[in-house]
Structure 1
Amino acid sequence: MVSSIQIMKLNTNSSLTSSKNSDLNFNLTKIIDSFLNDENKYEFDFFVQFIKQKQSNSELISKFLSDLRHLVDRLDPSKFDQNLINVIFYEIKWSLYSKNKTILSLFSEFLVDLNSAYTSYVQKCLGMLIKMFLLTKENDVDNEAMFLFAQNMIQNLVKISPSSKSCIIKLCDSMYPYMIKDTVIQESYIKNLLKLADYFKDLRLNLFEICIQKLLKIDVNSTREQILEAEMNNDEQLLTEVNEASNEDLTRPMKHPLADRLDVKMTVFFEFIKEKCFDSKSGQLNWDSCKSIYKDLLFTFDKYILFTYGSSHVQFIMFYICSFRSMLSEGFLDYLWKKFNAINSCAITKQVCSYYIGSYLARAKYIPITTCLATLQLMIKWIHSYIEKNGNNSNTLNFDMHRTFYALCQTVFYVIIFRNRQLFNSNDSSQNSKMIDLVKSWKLNEIINSRLNPLKYCLPTVRKKFARITYINQIAYCYSIIDANNRTSLPITGQSSLNIKMFFSNQNESLDSKNSDSKKSGLSDNPLDSFFPFDPYLLNRSRNYIQKCYVEFKDVYDENMEESSEEDEDDDESDDEDSDNGEDLSTDEEQSEETDMDEESEDNTEKTRMETKKKDFRFNTNLYDSDFENSMD
């Protein structure tokens, strides 16, 4: 800083005067030369402060830039004082001139000349430009003009110094606004990063990684429970169900602040994918561009999303882009299945991949039934092979040893539940018969009756609905096994389950007291720490990109189900009291699983059994020995 005494000592004949009417009467060449020759450094320091204070004077800034451009050769960073450069890069508010094309043009020309002469200024210049991606809330600022200026200048600087691309990634990451910043600021920043990704194809993967990491941070800090609680109205009732949202709800801001920011940023990301994958004029899919973006997103998914605990929405980016062509969805399934079978994949990886496969097959409307059946066939084959190798050894009761097996079994059950209409209840009776024969050839009864007992470790809702569907269609009989499991709830051996729970747990901490009895017995309602990554999408505005290709659960067997008589209900209650541990304990725990299937009450399984018994329906146990006779086509 220059003191007032030092300023007063300046020569009255100096090249700079402080009179208000003579702001433009300065000789920049003489000031810089005097500084470089150690003749009058005080005058230079005074001029730096003068420019900083008078930065709102457009005529002054215009003259300053015009003169400085011709003195670029004197701005050698090894000799020249950096105070003036720092004022230019960091302290002058260039947004004040967002509507002044003349000054922006002069500034652009100066930056090009400066960085062409001395590439050591490139990093500082890039930092200033990337900072312009943050929206300014002043009314007289044209933010779009500043965004365009910054984008164009970054492209010019990379042409001047190609090695500066590495600086762009570091600066974009370090300057990314924190998740509690205003929504409009975060929206403008991610838009500009995606524009950079579109221009610099070789940096797109790195920029995707930055965007995905920041999205994940918001996603895991706005849980499904918190979002649903915030969306409650004054009467503590949900405003609208996800699958019945009105057009107004699709544009309504989220009440949860972090969810609202995530909603806006996910909309920006979805729109970017749509614009780059489809031709703007013809609307046709640009396959080369789509395939390239898909590869980058898949790499990012594998690196960040797959193993992120508590993510509820960011994974839908892969769900969305895979809807563009069947080859992409099949490729995504192939990636998950290969990762599941990889020799170097640990138990956690296999478990997570199985949950992604199951949720994806169940929820993606664009996946044809043939692809679903082919994937189920692969999983069934793996399960039977596992039973042959491990079904008769002495460690069949070791839960931790067989976690992967139990997770994949539950995945198969889950997909069958969601695809039950296509498998067993289509309008074509001959097709239904073929499908039933095909499913019977999978010998599900052998799986559920194996010593590994997969039904014991399934989620209660999955177990109940799978039992009812397979019973009605004569595929398998689960009720006797479920009853036996309810009467003999054994503790889970081993302690490695703690390791998985650090990464994936679908249980809410608030439910600990509710399920204390089940935990004391050593068997919780979610022993596999199950989760379904493609559970209903809760964000209002970005949901529009998902809902057209998303399957909502509909239970065909609930539509015409008759209510059981009071005597049957009394009999069911007495049977529950006679059992050692009773039926599965809490509906609250099932509701915490956040699936559409949780809408069913606890006694629907027993009702189905009683209805079937009334009709004297006998299950044909010989239906499981038939061979696989129908191809997947």
Structure 2
Amino acid sequence: MSKKEKSGRFNLKALLDQYKQGSHKRYDEFVNILSDPQTKSEDLRVYLRGIKENVTELNKEFEDLVGVLLKLDWPCRELSVVREYQSLLVGLICVHSYYLRASIRTLIKYFTPPINKSVPETEVSLEMRQTNEAVFLNVHMVLKAILDSVPMSSTVLLPLLHDLFPFLGKGAYIQECYVRNLLQITTYLPTARQRILELVIDRMLKLDVRAPRQDIQETEGDEEDMEEGIVFDMDFEQDLTKDLNSKDFDRKCSDKPMTHREANILDVCMEMTLTYISNVCYTNGVCNWEATKKLYREILLVFDRLILPTHASCHVQFIMFYLCSTKLHKNLLSRAMFVPLSTVTACLDLMCEWVHLYLDNTSEEIVNADVSHHGPFYSVCQAVFYVFVFRNKEIFEMKKGHNWAESLNLQRIVTCRLNPLRVCLPVIVKMFSSISRMHQLAFCDTIIERNKRCILPVTSNGVGTSSVLTELDSYFPFDPYLLNRSGRFIIPLYREFKGSIEEDQELSEGEDDFLQEEQPSPVSESVPQSMSLGKTPKDFLHYGISPGFKHIQDIT
């Protein structure tokens, strides 16, 4: 390039005309200078302005020049260069829509910052993090301008967001940067929020099933250096004021990294997602109910599509748990601290009424207990026992609580020919038996002892062969939450089981219902040993394996 052209009087039109006439030397020279990272910012600004003034000339004949433009490391340059590039790129796409996909693809790649493989991810410097924050800010500015200017761009953006999601093998910092930027996009592209939340939740589910509860517990004591979560401010311009890191974001409550690799990444992503939900639902601590309802409907669709069918997830389902805390009447009767006792008693009334009607309508037909034919009945019975165990203290503390409990007629339920004590999960049956005996509501010991000695015949598939009665599938999706950072959203809302002194004494008299040395009965051999608990467990339903949600109707 001549000194005259470098001094600010750059004429790209003449250069392109020469190229069309067959003289490629100066054009090739210009492309090389443009792609050189050593090119001064002031010179680059001049070139970008010259290209912008002739953007209509950049048809497919000049794809190589456009390709160099897209590869420029522009977000880290001076502000004048950044603004010039942003203006040029938006103009290029508006004039030549066939460059849209390549342009958006290039922008999305900036959401995955490059990490020097020779440097451990835990040693990413604060300076590098701040540099990446500036890059993200600049990219979001131009991406928003493109989405505003080209209506079809959102249909190109969403598939690319899916395709360019970092591989699961990438570290926590890279995964966090990408997820955070995806959530940031929803602040200026709200129509894509459900699709983007689906992408984020799908990734978290993949991490969740790779971080089994038992593995997390085994590695929790290990002292390994784990990467800190990135904190960056996306407060870019007046029209992009939604910041994923609100000023009241108290990281001191949850800044301890998880030792388990996948659990740590999941924890970081869950924290971001729950923070995002909080920012959408609350303004200055007050719930914005219209915004919350809209978000709830969107996440509910994602919940049905992704979370419910996923086996062995332990933590991602707590997104719905947290979201339900915005309205007290949501039905998480046992575990949720935010569900009032009036809701608990109302739901127990409905469930027990249904159980008694079921018995009224089927009593003459019942020959033997059979899970395959009476599965819904056993599921509701188990839910009644489970909720009653968790909330019994509050029930008996309320005025006329014992009279209300007697009205449920629990004795009829436990003594019916369908024999729910035989089918429901033993640990629930034992605790329910202890509590109901202590308050003289139902007496289960004789039935439990008889069940231990008996193997009941059932008919399978209409064939008259006998087999051992199996237990009801145990679906408990809200086992205690183990993640550190994101736990600050869940733990204050979460109820852990705490037995009373009287209940512990009941359990210690006669047979000990929770001794780890207890021999399993013939029908409970498939129950994991981790479900055999001590006398005073911290949480008697803290299982080692979450069975997932498939076919579940969770009323507990």
Same fold flag (TM > 0.5): yes
Residue 29 (structure 1) aligns with: 13
Higher relative contact order (CA 8 A, sep 6+): 2
SS at structure 1 position matched to 2:152:
helix
Determine the C-alpha separation between the residues in 2 that align with 1:486 and 1:460: 11
Deviation at 1:553, TM superposition (A): 0.7
Determine the C-alpha separation between the residues in 2 that align with 1:401 and 1:492: 10
Residue 436 (structure 1) aligns with: 402
Residue 353 (structure 1) aligns with: none
Over 3 Å counting, the alpha-carbon distance change for 1:201 and 1:580 in structure 2 is: closer
Residue 252 (structure 1) aligns with: 256
Residue 272 (structure 1) aligns with: 276
In the alignment, residue 200 of structure 2 is paired with which amino acid? Answer: C
In the alignment, residue 152 of structure 1 is paired with which amino acid? Answer: M
TM-score (norm 1): 0.71
Residue 382 (structure 2) aligns with: 410
Over 3 Å counting, the alpha-carbon distance change for 1:301 and 1:55 in structure 2 is: farther
In the alignment, residue 218 of structure 2 is paired with which amino acid? Answer: E
> Alignment identity in percent?
33
Determine the C-alpha separation between the residues in 1 that align with 2:499 and 2:288: 38
Determine the C-alpha separation between the residues in 1 that align with 2:114 and 2:528: 49
In the alignment, residue 455 of structure 2 is paired with which amino acid? Answer: S
For residues 344-383 of structure 1, what are the structure 2 equivalents within 5 Å? Answer: 360-383=332-355
Deviations 1:240-284 (A, max 9, x none): xxxxxxx9784211000110011111111111112222224xx32
Determine the C-alpha separation between the residues in 2 that align with 1:388 and 1:116: 71
The correspondence for 1:202, drawn from 182, 191, 195, is 191
Q: Verify: 1:401 aligned to 2:373, yes or no.
A: yes
Asked if the contact 1:115/1:121 (under 8 Å) is kept, the reply is yes
Q: Verify: 1:535 aligned to 2:445, yes or no.
A: no
Structure 2: stretches of 5+ with no match in the other structure: 117-126, 224-250, 544-556
The correspondence for 1:590, drawn from 528, 531, 538, is 531
Determine the C-alpha separation between the residues in 2 that align with 1:361 and 1:109: 55
The correspondence for 1:478, drawn from 428, 436, 444, is 444
Residue 345 (structure 1) aligns with: none
Residue 81 (structure 1) aligns with: 62
Deviation at 1:587, TM superposition (A): 8.2
Determine the C-alpha separation between the residues in 1 that align with 2:93 and 2:532: 60
Larger Rg: 1
Determine the C-alpha separation between the residues in 1 that align with 2:447 and 2:482: 36
Over 3 Å counting, the alpha-carbon distance change for 1:384 and 1:557 in structure 2 is: farther
In the alignment, residue 88 of structure 1 is paired with which amino acid? Answer: L
Determine the C-alpha separation between the residues in 2 that align with 1:553 and 1:385: 30
Deviation at 1:523, TM superposition (A): 5.4
Deviations 1:524-576 (A, max 9, x none): 6xx323131111000011111111111111111457628968xx679xx9xx9
For residues 193-232 of structure 1, what are the structure 2 equivalents within 5 Å? Answer: 193-232=182-221
Over 3 Å counting, the alpha-carbon distance change for 1:36 and 1:389 in structure 2 is: farther
TM-score (norm 2): 0.80
The correspondence for 1:115, drawn from 93, 99, 105, is 93
Residue 505 (structure 2) aligns with: 561
Residue 420 (structure 2) aligns with: 454
Asked if the contact 1:132/1:150 (under 8 Å) is kept, the reply is yes
Asked if the contact 1:390/1:396 (under 8 Å) is kept, the reply is no
Asked if the contact 2:424/2:472 (under 8 Å) is kept, the reply is yes
The correspondence for 1:392, drawn from 358, 361, 364, is 364
What is the aligned-residue RMSD (CA, Å)? 3.5
Residue 124 (structure 1) aligns with: 102
Determine the C-alpha separation between the residues in 2 that align with 1:34 and 1:453: 91
The count of residues paired between Structure 1 and Structure 2 equals 496
In the alignment, residue 227 of structure 1 is paired with which amino acid? Answer: I
Over 3 Å counting, the alpha-carbon distance change for 1:484 and 1:181 in structure 2 is: same
Asked if the contact 1:55/1:61 (under 8 Å) is kept, the reply is no
Deviation at 1:392, TM superposition (A): 3.1
Structure 1: stretches of 5+ with no match in the other structure: 1-15, 235-246, 334-359, 497-519, 601-633
| Structure holding more helix per residue | 1
Asked if the contact 2:438/2:506 (under 8 Å) is kept, the reply is no
SS at structure 2 position matched to 1:546:
helix
Over 3 Å counting, the alpha-carbon distance change for 1:368 and 1:35 in structure 2 is: same
| Range with greater deviation from structure 2 (252-261 or 267-276) | 267-276
SS at structure 1 position matched to 2:478:
coil
Deviation at 1:459, TM superposition (A): 1.4
Determine the C-alpha separation between the residues in 2 that align with 1:421 and 1:540: 29
Determine the C-alpha separation between the residues in 2 that align with 1:584 and 1:219: 27
Determine the C-alpha separation between the residues in 2 that align with 1:121 and 1:72: 12
Deviations 1:389-444 (A, max 9, x none): 334326644321222221221111100000011112x2x6xx1xx22222222222
Deviation at 1:522, TM superposition (A): 4.0
Deviations 1:212-262 (A, max 9, x none): 11111111111101111111359xxxxxxxxxxxx9784211000110011
Residue 111 (structure 2) aligns with: 133
Determine the C-alpha separation between the residues in 2 that align with 1:536 and 1:56: 56
Deviations 1:182-229 (A, max 9, x none): 212211221221121122221111111111111111111111011111
Deviation at 1:101, TM superposition (A): 0.4
Moved over 6 A (4+): 21-26, 582-587, 592-595
The correspondence for 1:184, drawn from 173, 185, 210, is 173
Deviations 1:116-162 (A, max 9, x none): 21222222222222222223458466222221222221221122111
Q: Verify: 1:165 aligned to 2:165, yes or no.
A: no
Determine the C-alpha separation between the residues in 1 that align with 2:294 and 2:148: 24
In the alignment, residue 143 of structure 2 is paired with which amino acid? Answer: I
